[in-house]
Structure 1
């Protein structure tokens, strides 16, 4: 196959790189911190800026979507009590073109010079090929590379519209837990309908090892409140003869795992999609330095479910963690009491095949069964919502399109990872019924949420180039793809 499309894409990117980075810097100067109400106007200004820039890019539709409490019109539209999201759409014009939705977010974490930044976090600064600014990698840089990517795709192929029906949804509350995002996508499911979702809010293994993420774990969290005596009472007069809620909290925490560090809650592993031999081989191929990983974890050793490697544990196995335990006297010296109450905070990371609602019911049943009979201990369990896991099979046509596009951009083998954390990707998968693919170019040293966040400019341009190749591959047009048919025959 001729290298002409590759050369044309790269030539266009090189020609427009400076203007692209100048525009990105302008966006990064907007302190769109969604967690701070004082920045609400900045978050809105960020959304409005992106709407204008997407229109300038060529998207015929670019809109600001309000979020928050629904109004009474029956439309499901938000009333603006939440931070605004941005929606854009560029139809292909081809009768059978697949539809692809790109997800990202335009809000950022708080940042201030006194936090340890070497430069002003909202004054983008380029040093040694790295762009330093809050949001440079998470997630404005990775959202914005799609604007130059689609223009390079058009320039290299001579098209006037993308090879796919291209849509974007860029939320403004991801750094605040996406409280309004599930309702937003449910209300607009018809306009967001697609054949595949591309999430550009992720990263790669390293600069030298480009990777594609294939899935994220889900999450369920709860607090268990235990109540015993109506007030703290004297341990000499009553201890050993009445239930102690702090003791019961400790017993629950200790019973959460068996000697192999497996979760003991009946039904917890129901439906878990096991790692295949091939997936375990691919994980083992990664250049994993466990000592370096431990330093990043600020830990002095590894420990987890028997029979699995460290990466398998954090990427592909469900977990239960004690996030906090408390009750009774915590001051200096001693205080000989039986406390009246205690608390236990738990979180559960979930993997493909697990159902968050069923896990919650299993936890409730397990707690009730383990507490002493007789009414001396009362308890309440409060779950604070959940996030579903998502996983795309290695042989999915859309995933293979992402791999081929990255291969063309990076010029080397693309490997696979998963994410141990959780995010809104599963909401898109569940509501829209489309596979979720991850396209990100950030690396661990970019320092998401930390002082001196940055993005490697050469990798950012690789993201642009990947996006430029991806749309033709997904459409199976022959315009820039390597060998496959993308979504055209999926």
Structure 2
């Protein structure tokens, strides 16, 4: 039996929620801050704790995976059903730094439950959203009478996500055979609002660079030489100004090659979301919205590629004036990429564009740092529809679709494993990720548990297995 009876699931979850919350609070007390070198032993303790709890849950395999940095956790539980699909759940067990003096109302590593919310660093991002899978799996097994999941279930819980995942891609490539799957479920995301459950269908990619321009061998007198030799600061400003055309489209030739355009159905669904642009502007601390012509604000931040000047500098920066032609200047640029764009191709396109716009006498260097690929799952993907059904059963209402304007390591999983990436998250914007007083809504956490309980049966009945 692949379908999970809803009432049996809810009864089981209700009976076991107190112990589940006790366990979660115990895990949250471990200050697994990956960015702080002195907390490396705590990150390892967090990994060891999770391995122990996954073993208690019933996973026959649960182990710490070493990296060149901080450890990840891997677990797997094969299904008894021949041909069952294989699903990999991704999350992370490291957290952002936190201290009471940052503005917390309580110790960030001593969880407190107040007014139906649990406050602690990692409550929402991401320990709470990783751990709800353990109770969800137990509810799935209890309600269906199964001894193993309806899918071949794997977990990969990273220990360096909050530090930029420097070793994650290598970890995935090194273990690609063991991680092979038909579908990836990322539980490190959120929903539109508490009364509007949503599933994210994609994330943008990211490419970052610094363009450094060199002119005279040293700063020189602007009266003696200005207007007669190339000025690196002027050329940096000209590059920045040339990034976009009058319609706010990126003006780099070839930049949009391969872009997967929004479908009419996706635009319609985005437009149905209860979006308050004035409120969004207040959150953005901005006085007006502005972007590529022909697209709404949500479409711009979710589904369109961008080019941003993150910083520009060069020449004299002190008080008063200094009449020079500076010897160097720089631009820091970032490019958010969407499905269909290739990071390597964009880097070459940008490099050619910069080189073609600079005058003789200006030497330049481009240094690329960040590189994250975009990912997108079509609305008609069977696994996405299975996730939508599972969440709809848990929330008792229609589930809508969003995308994520930011970037993350999910694309590494998609690229290496060749599997569609789905996003199951129950966090809401008010949860305060990376901020003081991070919290998770306990009723939504329970809905996450319930969704996970339904998901494995939905995936087993709605998709065909291939990976093992």
Fold shared per TM-score above 0.5: yes
Alignment CA distance shift 1:5-1:462 (3 Å): same
Contact 2:4/2:454 (<8 A) preserved? no
Query: Are 2:136 and 1:136 aligned?
Result: no
Counterparts of 2:446 and 2:165 in 1: how far apart (Å)? 28
Q: Tell me which of 90, 101, 117 is aligned to 2:77.
A: 90
Query: Are 2:196 and 1:183 aligned?
Result: no
Aligned to 2:377: 392
Contact 1:397/1:487 (<8 A) preserved? no
> Which segments of 5 or more consecutive residues in structure 1 lack a partner in the other structure?
69-81, 477-484
Deviation at 1:230, TM superposition (A): 1.1
Deviation at 1:232, TM superposition (A): 0.9
Aligned to 1:147: 134
Alpha-carbon displacement from aligned partner over 1:182-223 (angstroms, at most 9, x marks no partner) = 000000000000010000000000001000000000000000
Alpha-carbon displacement from aligned partner over 1:218-251 (angstroms, at most 9, x marks no partner) = 0000000001111111111111111110000000
Deviation at 1:255, TM superposition (A): 0.3
Query: SS at 2:90's partner residue?
Result: strand
Counterparts of 2:165 and 2:71 in 1: how far apart (Å)? 11
Counterparts of 2:394 and 2:20 in 1: how far apart (Å)? 18
Aligned to 1:225: 212
Query: Are 2:450 and 1:462 aligned?
Result: no
Relative CO higher for 1 or 2, CA cutoff 8 Å, sep ≥ 6? 2
Contact 1:282/1:416 (<8 A) preserved? yes
Deviation at 1:94, TM superposition (A): 1.4
Contact 2:4/2:144 (<8 A) preserved? no
Contact 1:232/1:337 (<8 A) preserved? yes
Q: Tell me which of 139, 163, 187 is aligned to 2:150.
A: 163
Counterparts of 1:135 and 1:4 in 2: how far apart (Å)? 30
Query: Are 2:327 and 1:322 aligned?
Result: no
Deviation at 1:487, TM superposition (A): 4.0
Counterparts of 1:4 and 1:290 in 2: how far apart (Å)? 40
Aligned to 1:206: 193
Give the alignment of 1:11-50 within 5 angstroms.
Answer: 11-50=11-50
Counterparts of 2:146 and 2:349 in 1: how far apart (Å)? 54
Q: Tell me which of 339, 356, 372 is aligned to 2:326.
A: 339
Query: Are 2:364 and 1:379 aligned?
Result: yes
Query: SS at 1:246's partner residue?
Result: helix
Query: Are 2:63 and 1:63 aligned?
Result: yes
Aligned to 2:416: 431
Deviation at 1:4, TM superposition (A): 8.1
Query: Are 2:291 and 1:304 aligned?
Result: yes
Counterparts of 2:38 and 2:325 in 1: how far apart (Å)? 44
> Which segments of 5 or more consecutive residues in structure 2 lack a partner in the other structure?
none
Deviation at 1:272, TM superposition (A): 0.2
Alpha-carbon displacement from aligned partner over 1:43-84 (angstroms, at most 9, x marks no partner) = 00000000001001100100000001xxxxxxxxxxxxx000
Aligned to 1:237: 224
Counterparts of 1:12 and 1:331 in 2: how far apart (Å)? 66
Aligned to 2:431: 446
RMSD value, Cα:
1.3
Contact 2:86/2:465 (<8 A) preserved? no
Query: Are 2:231 and 1:249 aligned?
Result: no
Query: SS at 1:166's partner residue?
Result: strand
